[in-house]
Structures are given as C-alpha cells and as structure tokens.
Amino acid sequence: MQFDSIKLKDPIGTLKGATETLANVGMEKTQEVLGQINLLLKLLQSAGYGVASLDIELSLPPKVTMKLKTGPAVKEEKLGEILRDHADQRAITAVVASLIQANKLRGSVTVETLGLDGIEIMLTTTPNIVLQWKDKN
C-alpha cells in the first residue's frame, strides 16, 4: 500500500481541501435543485396554490421545505396536466402526484371546527407532504 507523503505532512490542508470540494459540490447541487424548485413553485401557483414560505437547508443532498396555502381555487385538472407535461422531471412528478393524493384526502377530516390550513412539502431523498389543519376560529 502506498501513502502520499505530502498529504501525511499536511493533514489540515488535506482536510481543508476536501471540505472545500464538498462545499462546492453542495453548492452545485443546491443550484440545480433551486432551478427545479423555481419551476415547481410556478407550476403550483398556476394550479391555485399560494406559496407561504420556502426554506432551504444546505446539505448533501439539499433539503427544501415549502409551505403552500390551499383554497378552493386549486385545480385538480391542472395538477394532472402538470404531471403529464413534466413526466421526465422526477422531483416535480413526485410532488404533484403526492398533492393529487393529498387533495383526495382533504375532506377526510370532518371535525367541523377544523379547516385545512396548508400543506408542507419537504424535499429530501423522497418527498414528504404534510396536510395541516387548524381551528377555524
């Protein structure tokens, strides 16, 4: 087994170089994800969702959390159209397919004092969607 004597003489420099490389890879991946997120948000707005917030966690892979406002203006047929038009974009199809399922569950909470407040989407390795209900008062 051969050792690189230069790296052994400067372990801090080697660690710093590795850290910079990881930071650059993380930034490139984040930029790529942000391009997809911008498109996704525009598409969701066209379907009737409002964007309440967007959080980005810089990590490998980056973690993106979106909070959407929902209302009666959400168009199921528009979500189906987005799904068909962007079938080659995995993140978009995963989120939109999940939103279609979430819309089917919308009316499943029948407590009269609760109303659907919004939807939180967490994009990590697999998308997670959380429906959030709150007191109507």
The average pLDDT across 9-21 equals 59
In terms of pTM, does the model score above 0.75? no
Q: Starting at the earlier edge strand, list the strands of the sheet with 127-135.
A: 50-57, 63-69, 114-123, 127-135
Q: What is the pLDDT of residues 35-69, one digit of tens each?
A: 888 899 999 999 999 999 988 887 767 788 899 98
> CA quadruple 2, 8, 10, 16: dihedral positive or negative?
positive
The number of folded domains in the chain is 1
Largest CA distance in the chain: 72
Helix, strand, coil shares of the chain as percentages rounded to 5? 50, 25, 25
Q: What is the pLDDT of residue 14?
A: 57
Containing structural domain, residue 27:
5-135
Q: What is the pLDDT of residues 80-123, one digit of tens each?
A: 999 999 999 888 888 898 888 888 887 777 778 887 788 898 88
Q: What is the pLDDT of residue 27?
A: 65
User: Percentage of the chain surpassing pLDDT 70?
Assistant: 77
Nearest 5°: phi and psi at 4?
-85, 105
